[in-house]
């Protein structure tokens, strides 16, 4: 005798989860509903994560409608750009892109496809996936958004007082680059950054000194700033030019060049290799079309009329429009129920 299968679902925020009914206890149980003695020897209905395949799949008839649409196909280095990570600039989320020997300018081709005050969609991020609005694209590899971040991030703004050594010089090992602040600058890099932190360097006159780095070590506390620097090794970058691979590059031997008394900016950064897409159409003006089914579109009209009547203190019209609004909402919900509708079992019930 074939056994019946019963499934249910629950919703958490925008996520839907499928669960399966089972009669036996086991790992993965998420919910027990006691008291239904007709089911199971123990009188319990046990709900668990599905323990077997559903060959016909799961059909979701009604789903969340986003507030934006991607109008063109995502093409790497056209309207799709990879980024190495992010930092916070003046309280705003700022994405960072580094190249193998420089940093890109978001004002030049092809990166100028991401314009100021334009919306972008970030995908593949461990924290920031979703819709953002660009505040300003910089010439130093930074792309600042309007997304506020309530997080303090260490930043150094040197004013002709930062030295970046060549690889393996200044007391660094063969595969390290040393960065220090000049004495009397009151910039103690070893107190601001720690081993394994990521930093993003901009503003160096030597292009390959800029970019997304990992700190391999810090100097011990000393009485002078120039003896309290940091060492960097791994450089992380996005491929540019003809090589547009969707993988992150890593250079474990930094090819830096000595540059002294530089006015560079050093941000503490967070590595989060992902990508952004431009050419996003959002609901931002009266010309946009709201994606609503017929019943809800008509209901929205009655809701607006109700609010206008309320502002005019016309309570009778307000109540009428609100009744129509709720009636259409009920019709919309009823339209989601498919199958035969039985309105009565006998002549008395039909009456």
Question: Is 44 found in the same domain as 2?
Answer: yes
| Listed residue (133, 144, 140, 11) closest to 86, CA to CA | 144
Please check whether residue 61 is in contact with residue 22, taking contact to mean a CB–CB distance below 8 angstroms: no
Question: Is 54 found in the same domain as 150?
Answer: no
Question: Is 103 found in the same domain as 40?
Answer: no
Question: Is 265 found in the same domain as 167?
Answer: yes
Q: Count of domains in the chain?
A: 3
pLDDT at 41: 44
The answer to whether residue 126 sits within a structural domain is yes
pLDDT at 314: 94
**Residue where a domain terminates, one of 49, 64, 79:** 64
Question: Is 318 found in the same domain as 211?
Answer: no
The answer to whether residue 345 sits within a structural domain is no
Q: Count CB-CB contacts under 10 A for residue 45.
A: 19
Question: Is 44 found in the same domain as 134?
Answer: no
The answer to whether residue 329 sits within a structural domain is yes
The answer to whether residue 351 sits within a structural domain is no
Question: Is 81 found in the same domain as 230?
Answer: yes
**Residue where a domain terminates, one of 38, 64, 90:** 64
Question: Is 112 found in the same domain as 145?
Answer: yes
State the maximum Cα–Cα separation within the chain, in Å, rounded to a whole number. Answer: 99
Question: Residue 173 to residues 217, 277, 292, 320: CA-CA distances in angstroms?
Answer: 11, 40, 63, 80
Encoded tokens for 183: 């004495």
The answer to whether residue 315 sits within a structural domain is yes
pLDDT at 341: 60
Question: Is 36 found in the same domain as 90?
Answer: no
The answer to whether residue 350 sits within a structural domain is no
The answer to whether residue 221 sits within a structural domain is yes
pLDDT at 55: 67
Give the count of alpha carbons within 13 A of 311, CB side only. Answer: 5
Please check whether residue 190 is in contact with residue 279, taking contact to mean a CB–CB distance below 8 angstroms: no
Question: Is 186 found in the same domain as 56?
Answer: no
pLDDT at 64: 55
**Residue where a domain terminates, one of 24, 45, 64:** 64
The answer to whether residue 82 sits within a structural domain is yes
Question: Is 131 found in the same domain as 55?
Answer: no
Give the domain range for residue 197.
Answer: 70-281
Cα dihedral 126, 129, 133, 137 sign: positive
Please check whether residue 103 is in contact with residue 210, taking contact to mean a CB–CB distance below 8 angstroms: yes
Question: Is 331 found in the same domain as 189?
Answer: no
Question: Residue 248 to residues 9, 84, 120, 130, 236: CA-CA distances in angstroms?
Answer: 38, 7, 21, 21, 7
pTM: 0.72
pLDDT at 37: 42
pLDDT at 104: 95
| Listed residue (188, 263, 277, 253) closest to 227, CA to CA | 188
pLDDT tens-place values along the chain, 351 residues long: 445 677 777 766 556 777 777 665 555 444 454 444 444 444 455 677 776 666 666 666 555 556 788 888 899 999 999 999 999 999 999 999 999 999 999 999 999 999 999 999 999 999 999 999 999 999 999 999 999 999 999 999 999 999 999 999 999 999 999 999 999 999 999 999 999 999 999 999 999 999 999 999 999 999 999 999 999 999 999 998 666 788 999 999 889 999 999 999 999 999 999 999 998 888 777 777 777 778 888 999 999 999 999 999 999 999 999 999 999 988 888 777 766 666 555 555 444
Q: H or E segment at 251? A: strand 248-251
């Amino acid at each position: 005798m074939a056994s019946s299968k019963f499934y249910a679902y629950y919703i958490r925020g925008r996520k839907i989860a499928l669960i399966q009914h089972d009669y036996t206890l086991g790992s993965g149980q998420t919910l027990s509903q006691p008291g239904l003695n007709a089911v199971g020897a123990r009188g319990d209905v046990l709900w668990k994560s599905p323990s077997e395949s559903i060959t016909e799949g799961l059909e979701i008839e009604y789903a969340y409608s986003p507030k934006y649409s991607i109008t063109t196909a995502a093409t790497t280095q056209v309207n799709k750009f990879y980024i190495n990570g992010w930092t916070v600039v003046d309280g705003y989320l700022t994405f960072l892109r580094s190249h193998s020997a420089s940093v890109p300018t978001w004002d030049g081709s092809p990166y100028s496809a991401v314009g100021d005050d334009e919306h972008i969609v970030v995908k593949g991020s461990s924290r920031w996936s979703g819709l953002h609005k660009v505040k300003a694209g910089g010439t130093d590899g930074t792309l600042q958004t309007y997304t506020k971040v309530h997080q303090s991030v260490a930043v150094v703004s040197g004013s002709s007082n930062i030295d970046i050594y060549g690889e393996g010089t200044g007391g660094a090992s063969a595969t390290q680059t040393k960065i220090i602040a000049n004495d009397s600058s009151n910039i103690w890099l070893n107190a601001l950054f720690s081993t394994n932190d990521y930093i993003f360097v901009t503003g160096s006159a030597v292009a390959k000194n800029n970019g997304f780095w990992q700190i391999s070590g810090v100097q011990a506390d000393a009485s002078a700033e120039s003896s309290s620097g940091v060492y960097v090794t791994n450089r992380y970058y996005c491929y540019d030019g003809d090589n547009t691979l969707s993988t992150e590059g890593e250079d474990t031997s930094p090819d830096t060049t000595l540059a002294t008394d530089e006015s560079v900016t050093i941000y503490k950064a967070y590595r989060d290799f992902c990508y952004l897409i431009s050419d996003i159409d959002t609901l931002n003006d009266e010309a946009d079309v709201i994606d609503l089914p017929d019943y809800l579109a008509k209901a929205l009209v009655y809701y607006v009329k109700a609010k206008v009547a309320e502002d005019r203190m016309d309570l009778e019209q307000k109540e009428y429009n609100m009744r129509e609004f709720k009636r259409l909402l009920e019709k919309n919900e009823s339209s989601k129920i498919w199958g035969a509708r039985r309105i009565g079992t006998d002549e008395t019930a039909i009456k």
